[in-house]
Structure 1
């Protein structure tokens, strides 16, 4: 049964990870005045038809005004985590609706646990996002065959499973990466969310540490914009592609994500005192926990207020 709601929803479409209008990766942000149903949020996400729509809801009865529920939806499904929509949500709260906050830290309550966004740097110019690590295990023979069937003749260096949500694959070169033409039908049999992240060391710029692509047809997105799930998972495989001496001193990583609109550049900050071990040549790999992003590297494309929207 449908009912009309009297209270409207403030919304914005924000391009994250870009220094120009209509670049980067778009996300829709909806600031909810009250709880909405899962079904309603899914319909709204379908209506926006962006890779992700984020829904923010202020959590009442807390000692501060900086705690929010945050949920992410593709046009087809709710997802556990989305980096660029989290950045867009933080930008929305810090910049567009700064009157909502009297703090430099936002606490998001999500399906992946507690996430934080902080204003740091000179004048609070940076947004620092704090994410948990995705553990990676190497693919067994059966999983490797599934990956090969989807990627065809790609020159695969290594393949793993990040957190059981699909596959992470390293290929031999960025040229190999750019020429990939995955078989999306064969990817539909992948387990879990069915994500396929493909990465290669280096890039067109000598300063780049890795370049990546992210495919997820099961979520209704053939090739996905920049996503911090990709970055958290990809970093550990990329470090092993560099000389062993580098893995002990790397403190930041610069990466490029190729996508249909041209790609996005992201800097990761790796805390030196946090490390994780993965069973590949007994390497101790930096724990990717934080990323610092320029607060200005997001552009509001549209914003408004909608009332009423239908609620299931």
Structure 2
């Protein structure tokens, strides 16, 4: 693997929220019908500890290049967040990630955060239902649920105001109940303090979204009970909107995300000037 500064320069040239690097694995005995790879994620300024949509894309790229005679059905990625497992299900890629938790903000903290949102959206107030700090493994995340009347897809925030969440809260996950039939919730993600003004489709945010919305559904439909692993159809409602299917498995404390991946380009990088 190339030095970190080179990996960061490559990302800078691509000007993407995340660039994923795949490498050969140190594992000598991969499981049956499974291939193992190393995986790292780099944002514009630093290495990331989790990226769901980038991992889905990497899995699709690998599956498309595997020799079909190898009969590989599973990929394992060795990452800074542990081993992540990807499967192909029809024309989709399924990926298992660790589930996260949130802790409610205090009344005083909520008042400060509501002021930041009001400034970002240039309006007197934003109808916020919940603000929670990410738990272990997601301590740099902030989850905010807004009322669906806020029309999350129509937001044009001044993202610079979200930088006031720094230094601890680097990744802001905003979610709301969906108004469209058949979709459980909508979501957007902003992270200006790490040079990601908006990540148009962020798989890792569902490590928090899936348990959060599963708990809400269980509370609302308490008489019906809740099925572990129930599928949630979520929608990222940024300018480049995308659909993602999510399941929360409370017993295993894991989240499964599923999505479609489309190839748009294949090329070769000449790194002589960068590496020297």
Tell me the TM-score normalised to structure 2 length. Answer: 0.84
Alignment match, 1:256: 235
Runs of 4+ aligned residues of structure 1 deviating over 4 Å after TM superposition are none
Inter-CA distance 148–60: structure 2 relative to 1 (3 Å threshold): same
Contact 1:184 1:217 in 2 (8 A): yes
Alignment match, 1:270: 248
- Per the TM alignment, residue 174 of structure 1 is displaced from its structure 2 partner at its CA by 4.8
Alignment match, 1:116: 85
Contact 1:170 1:237 in 2 (8 A): no
- Per the TM alignment, residue 210 of structure 1 is displaced from its structure 2 partner at its CA by 0.5
Alignment match, 1:303: 266
CA distance in structure 2 between the partners assigned to 1:235 and 1:270 by the alignment: 6
Which digits, 9 at most, give the CA deviation of each residue in 1:64-110, with x for residues without a partner? 38221111112222211111110000001001x21396521111111
Superposed CA RMSD in Å reads: 2.4
Contact 2:8 2:42 in 1 (8 A): yes
Higher relative contact order (CA 8 A, sep 6+): 1
CA distance in structure 2 between the partners assigned to 1:178 and 1:305 by the alignment: 36
Inter-CA distance 67–182: structure 2 relative to 1 (3 Å threshold): same
Residues 87-166 of structure 1 aligned to structure 2 (within 5 Å): 87-95=56-64, 97-99=65-67, 102-120=71-89, 125-152=91-118, 153-162=125-134, 163-166=138-141
CA distance in structure 2 between the partners assigned to 1:186 and 1:247 by the alignment: 40
CA distance in structure 2 between the partners assigned to 1:254 and 1:211 by the alignment: 9
Alignment match, 2:50: 81
- Per the TM alignment, residue 150 of structure 1 is displaced from its structure 2 partner at its CA by 2.0
CA distance in structure 2 between the partners assigned to 1:181 and 1:151 by the alignment: 12
Q: Tell me which of 200, 214, 219 is aligned to 2:189.
A: 214
Residues 168-247 of structure 1 aligned to structure 2 (within 5 Å): 168-190=143-165, 191-192=167-168, 194-204=170-180, 206-242=181-217, 243-245=220-222
Inter-CA distance 270–63: structure 2 relative to 1 (3 Å threshold): same
Which digits, 9 at most, give the CA deviation of each residue in 1:157-180, with x for residues without a partner? 111012221311111115442344
Inter-CA distance 62–174: structure 2 relative to 1 (3 Å threshold): farther
- Per the TM alignment, residue 274 of structure 1 is displaced from its structure 2 partner at its CA by 1.9
Contact 1:40 1:311 in 2 (8 A): yes
Contact 1:47 1:75 in 2 (8 A): no
Contact 1:174 1:202 in 2 (8 A): no
Aligned length: 257
Q: 1 or 2, which has the higher helix percentage?
A: 2
- Per the TM alignment, residue 187 of structure 1 is displaced from its structure 2 partner at its CA by 2.0
- Per the TM alignment, residue 237 of structure 1 is displaced from its structure 2 partner at its CA by 2.7
Q: 1 or 2, which has the higher strand percentage?
A: 1
Q: Which runs of 5+ in 2 are unaligned?
A: 119-124
